[in-house]
Structure 1
Amino acid sequence: MKDRLARLGIKDINSGISTVLYHWNGQGELIDSFSPTNDSRIASVNLGSADDFEKILSIAQSAFLEWRTVPAPKRGEIVRQMGDSFRVHKEDLGHLVSYEMGKSLQEGLGEVQEIIDICDFAVGLSRQLYGLTMHSERPQHRMYEQWHPLGIVGIISAFNFPVAVWSWNAMLAWVCGDVCVWKPSEKAPLSAIACQNIIAKVLKDNNVSEGVSSLIVGDRNIGELMSKDARVALVSATGSTRMGKAVAQNVAARLGKSLLELGGNNAIIVTENADLKLAVPAIVFGAVGTAGQRCTSTRRLIVHNSLKDRLVESLVSAYGQMKIGDPLNKENHIGPLIDEAAVEMYLNAITSALNNGGELKYGGNLLTNLGKCYVEPTIIEVKEQIEVVCNETFAPILYVMAYETLEEAITLQNAVPQGLSSAIFTNNMQESEWFLSNAGSDCGIANVNIGTSGAEIGGAFGGEKETGGGRESGSDAWKAYMRRQTNTINYGKSLPLAQGIKFDF
């Protein structure tokens, strides 16, 4: 691992990190990054201070004035080079993500692949920042709309996807002509620093100001400064609903723009017409992938009464085949939770569910022989959607509920505060169409015969209700990073007014 870190610009895992870029080598408290895989210290990072934040924003402002004048396809060419650089560093960065965050190596590598994919998407987008042309009611007038960059985009990312979600924002923002200031999670700072090092070299090779991409490792105080600063045109924040509400209030108070990707409490409905050969692997991956620490993790299973016992039996059998351990070992499916606080939340949620009538079907134990943060994936059957089921717990806990009618199942699915991802397994066309209709799922993502996890970058990613309403990645999510302008050109020799108004003098 030491050699991989060195190739990513993290040169000393014993005495901390040395760098010439003050962007993330701040003046604040020194914190350690520990791997939850073995509780070992990887490196130390200085948190950024308020003074550091001020310096970064000043540099970002200056960089924006130049970056916005670069033609969008030229900006796309630089993003293309970034994608190529991430291809070169995919193995090293994927290993670091896995080691620092605790997800399986395949998921760590997959996260870096998401960066590469969004780079490819953004390159094409750089030639497709389309506006519309409208017909004017006034003779010899032309109307159209165009899109301009916003300015500084602040990105607050979470530990569970320490690099991919940042890239969804940054790559689009850059081709749109914005500059980015990134505050990663303090729980996974090294993965972010590695990305910054990769980006910095590409910018330097193209004689682009490093202020186009700034990074500051900081605590919630830095996040608060970012959300309150009017120079930050858009704050894109990924994390808990509690955090998102605080960001939204601060940004709204100054009439700024926010893009929020918050909690998820995702359900899979399995009807009596489902193919269980499809459903079982989707449920297992959705529930235990990343040790249940995805915003799109499957947390609730709503299954038709006629299939419940059979499906639970199949899941228990599948869970028993899951290999838990060091995520860098490709044979293992599940790594640790991020830290001991997450373990405590896991235990508290299980206790609450069992105290309120839940029945433990599988798991529920700590795996202290592997380390402090390893837990068993857990299945709990509940008779009704009790309070703990309605809350998001970032852990591999799956709650199973039975239903009789599809209307009842959809009502159960929608009866939580969050609205990110949802899925139904059925071979009945009427059931699938009902689920996708305006009387069906109220989530931003609704799938048929695939699970709740595994979003592709081509589609807009995000959810409704307490998930925040933001959209990132594909489709027309790029519009969040730009401002719309309507233009009218009079190429005639008279000045007719709209709606036939006369104003003679």
Structure 2
Amino acid sequence: MSCAMLLQCRHSCKKGNRLLRMLATSYSSFVKDKAYINGSWVAAANGNTFSVINPANEELIGTVPDMGIQETQSAIDAAHVAFDTWRKTTAKERSAILKKWFSLIESNKTSLAELLTKEQGKSMADSIAEVTYGASFFEWFSEEAKRVYGEIMPPSTADRRLLIMKQPIGVAGIITPWNFPIAMITRKLGAALAVGCTAVIKPAEDTPLSALAICQLGEEAGLPAGVVNVITTSSKNTSDVGKLLCESPRVATISFTGSTKVGKILLSQSASTVKRVSLELGGNAPFIVFDSANIDKAVTGAMACKFRCAGQTCICANRFLVQDVIYDEFVKRLAEAIKNQLVVGNGLDEGVNIGPLINEAAVNKVDDFVTDAVKKGATKIVGGNKNSLGKNFYEPTLLVNVTTDMECMKDEIFGPVAVIIKFKTEAEAIKIANSTDVGLAGYFYSQDLGQVWRVAEELQVGMVGANESLLSAAEVSFGGVKQSGLGREGGKFGVDEYLEMKYICMGGI
């Protein structure tokens, strides 16, 4: 999503959160207590369920089926059968369904955003932005459906014709995270459906309701039975369900967004069937501020990049690297912005822009990072403690005097904690930035044109924000290098993960 789009969403939400909630009286119509298999809303075979809890106040939002191997196999079988028909539909037919689905999401944006805030905890501004972003993938891929082109090559002999055609790969197993429960489904699913694949979706156990809500709208858009299936499962059954998706010969590809640790497990399990795998894994994004930077813009970018979704995004700034000449000034301005601009609370409350973390374990992990840093010499400038609002809240935090041996520099923080390290030269900044085994996103601010080109080329990441901190959009490719994943999502290359190339040699011409 563009910076302008996100800021517009946040501005409109800030002006009228209360009005938005009044309009969103129908969010409860999206709260399902069944999963979706082969065009039907179904319970678990054994009747088991698990609860979906609002992380802001620990209130029960709803219950969903706790499904396992049996239901997952049924979903795979349904998708396998549906593929034989869906792959033969025209690109125009698939495009029409995706366009209608996009329109339905747009017209239900406020209701979906309220459900998302209740389920995940992010502010209404962030939820509105995610729903808008998520819908954009269905709009984008509705057009890309018509642009899957083959090629004809000149032959070496006159009696042959050589051509390449692209065909849908088959059933896609889609495993999505809790931090963007709508957008991570639409980014994968839109591409898969556009080219003729079917899907089995396993949403995160913390946020299954948003996935079911999107599925409900897909049904209204005219999606045939079996083309999309959603399996809801608790953490107890997650590993078994994931293993079956990876090892089933009827599943042609796995698309996963989540931690590097889990991604490696899924990659290993998929090897048994030599399955296509696309992975969007963890990051440890550097955010470099050079002495030539516009400090005001750098601070604005830092706030948007670090604290969106309470710092729980895979591409948020994790390590701030600031050149020594402007270090003190940048720290001063960032501290002021954190104190004056961030309001912690229930994401549904007016003015709140920092919600809870997803659960208490996430809070404890963030607090351990801060404790380790302070023990090793870091200084708390702002925050640095668990918040009294509830067990899932953590104070927006700024740490300085940070060094490379601290855990917060080595691992992804995934919380509202900004850590700043000082550097002297461009070469030093690049060395620190590239010192990790992951490489998803990286950011830097500089007004030196030569430096902009050099640093953009030298950063070992899949995506670079140069004087820009909000870089996601449906029309561009999203993905990382090193242990941050395989493949790309979104943009014109997003469909490639769901296509096979077939070479045809015609003789006797």
Which residue is equivalent to 1:94? 113
Asked whether the equivalents of residues 418 and 466 of structure 1 are also in contact (C-alpha less than 8 Å), the reply is: yes
> Deviation at 1:469?
2.4
Matches within 5 A, 1:65-76: 65-76=84-95
Which residue is equivalent to 2:8? none
Equivalent of residue 33 in structure 1, options 52, 55, 60: 52
Asked whether the equivalents of residues 300 and 401 of structure 1 are also in contact (C-alpha less than 8 Å), the reply is: yes
Asked whether the equivalents of residues 67 and 212 of structure 1 are also in contact (C-alpha less than 8 Å), the reply is: yes
| CA distance 1:35–1:271, shift in 2 (3 Å) | same
Q: Structure 2: how far apart are the matches of 1:23 and 1:239? A: 27
Equivalent of residue 445 in structure 1, options 463, 468, 471: 463
Asked whether the equivalents of residues 234 and 256 of structure 1 are also in contact (C-alpha less than 8 Å), the reply is: yes
2:331 matches 1:312: yes
Q: Structure 2: how far apart are the matches of 1:383 and 1:331? A: 31
Paired residue secondary structure (1:324) = coil
Which residue is equivalent to 1:85? 104
- Per mean C-alpha deviation after superposition, the further-off stretch among 220-229 and 233-242 is 220-229
Which residue is equivalent to 1:275? 294
Asked whether the equivalents of residues 149 and 176 of structure 1 are also in contact (C-alpha less than 8 Å), the reply is: yes
2:213 matches 1:189: no
Which residue is equivalent to 2:12? none
Equivalent of residue 435 in structure 2, options 415, 420, 428: 415
Matches within 5 A, 1:123-162: 123-162=142-181
Which residue is equivalent to 1:335? 355
Which residue is equivalent to 2:417? 397
TM-score for the superposition, normalised by structure 1: 0.91
Q: Structure 2: how far apart are the matches of 1:80 and 1:227? A: 30
Q: Which runs of 5+ in 2 are unaligned?
A: 1-20
Q: Structure 2: how far apart are the matches of 1:318 and 1:342? A: 24
Asked whether the equivalents of residues 53 and 60 of structure 2 are also in contact (C-alpha less than 8 Å), the reply is: yes
Equivalent of residue 488 in structure 2, options 471, 482, 485: 471
Which residue is equivalent to 1:13? none
Matches within 5 A, 1:242-321: 242-321=261-340
2:235 matches 1:217: no
Instruction: Among all aligned residue pairs of Structure 1 and Structure 2, give the percentage whose two residues are the same amino acid.
Output: 27
Q: Structure 2: how far apart are the matches of 1:285 and 1:24? A: 40
Which residue is equivalent to 1:431? 451
Which residue is equivalent to 1:459? 476
Q: Which runs of 5+ in 1 are unaligned?
A: 11-15, 493-505
Asked whether the equivalents of residues 237 and 260 of structure 1 are also in contact (C-alpha less than 8 Å), the reply is: yes
| CA distance 1:364–1:444, shift in 2 (3 Å) | same
Asked whether the equivalents of residues 174 and 200 of structure 2 are also in contact (C-alpha less than 8 Å), the reply is: yes
Asked whether the equivalents of residues 156 and 236 of structure 1 are also in contact (C-alpha less than 8 Å), the reply is: yes
For residues 133-183 of structure 1, what are the alpha-carbon distances to aligned partners after superposition, in whole Å with 9 as ceiling and x for unaligned? Answer: 221111242222111001100100000001101101101100110001100
Which residue is equivalent to 1:349? 369
Asked whether the equivalents of residues 292 and 397 of structure 1 are also in contact (C-alpha less than 8 Å), the reply is: yes
Asked whether the equivalents of residues 36 and 230 of structure 2 are also in contact (C-alpha less than 8 Å), the reply is: no
> Deviation at 1:385?
1.2
Root mean square deviation of aligned Cα: 1.8
Q: Structure 2: how far apart are the matches of 1:129 and 1:23? A: 33
Q: Structure 2: how far apart are the matches of 1:104 and 1:117? A: 20
Q: Structure 1: how far apart are the matches of 2:304 and 2:415? A: 13
| CA distance 1:253–1:387, shift in 2 (3 Å) | farther
Q: In structure 2, give the amino acid aligned to 1:375.
A: Y
> Deviation at 1:5?
3.3
Q: Structure 2: how far apart are the matches of 1:124 and 1:22? A: 28
Equivalent of residue 134 in structure 2, options 115, 131, 141: 115
Q: Structure 2: how far apart are the matches of 1:132 and 1:304? A: 50
Q: Structure 1: how far apart are the matches of 2:191 and 2:494? A: 9
TM-score for the superposition, normalised by structure 2: 0.91
Q: Structure 1: how far apart are the matches of 2:361 and 2:305? A: 22
| CA distance 1:359–1:325, shift in 2 (3 Å) | same
For residues 474-500 of structure 1, what are the alpha-carbon distances to aligned partners after superposition, in whole Å with 9 as ceiling and x for unaligned? Answer: 1312111110112222353xxxxxxxx
For residues 34-74 of structure 1, what are the alpha-carbon distances to aligned partners after superposition, in whole Å with 9 as ceiling and x for unaligned? Answer: 00111111111121121111111111111000001101121
> Deviation at 1:397?
1.5
Asked whether the equivalents of residues 39 and 372 of structure 1 are also in contact (C-alpha less than 8 Å), the reply is: no
Q: In structure 1, give the amino acid aligned to 2:366.
A: Y
Asked whether the equivalents of residues 133 and 144 of structure 1 are also in contact (C-alpha less than 8 Å), the reply is: yes
Q: In structure 1, give the amino acid aligned to 2:280.
A: E
Q: Structure 2: how far apart are the matches of 1:186 and 1:24? A: 17
Name the count of aligned residue pairs.
Answer: 479
Q: Structure 2: how far apart are the matches of 1:349 and 1:383? A: 12
2:23 matches 1:8: no
Which residue is equivalent to 1:495? none
> Deviation at 1:394?
1.5
Q: In structure 2, give the amino acid aligned to 1:434.
A: R
Q: Structure 2: how far apart are the matches of 1:18 and 1:184? A: 11
Matches within 5 A, 1:161-240: 161-203=180-222, 208-218=223-233, 219-240=238-259
Q: In structure 1, give the amino acid aligned to 2:176.
A: S
Q: In structure 1, give the amino acid aligned to 2:246.
A: S
Q: Structure 2: how far apart are the matches of 1:442 and 1:400? A: 20
Q: Structure 2: how far apart are the matches of 1:310 and 1:115? A: 37
> Deviation at 1:22?
5.5
> Deviation at 1:18?
9.3
Asked whether the equivalents of residues 273 and 427 of structure 1 are also in contact (C-alpha less than 8 Å), the reply is: yes
Q: In structure 2, give the amino acid aligned to 1:302.
A: L
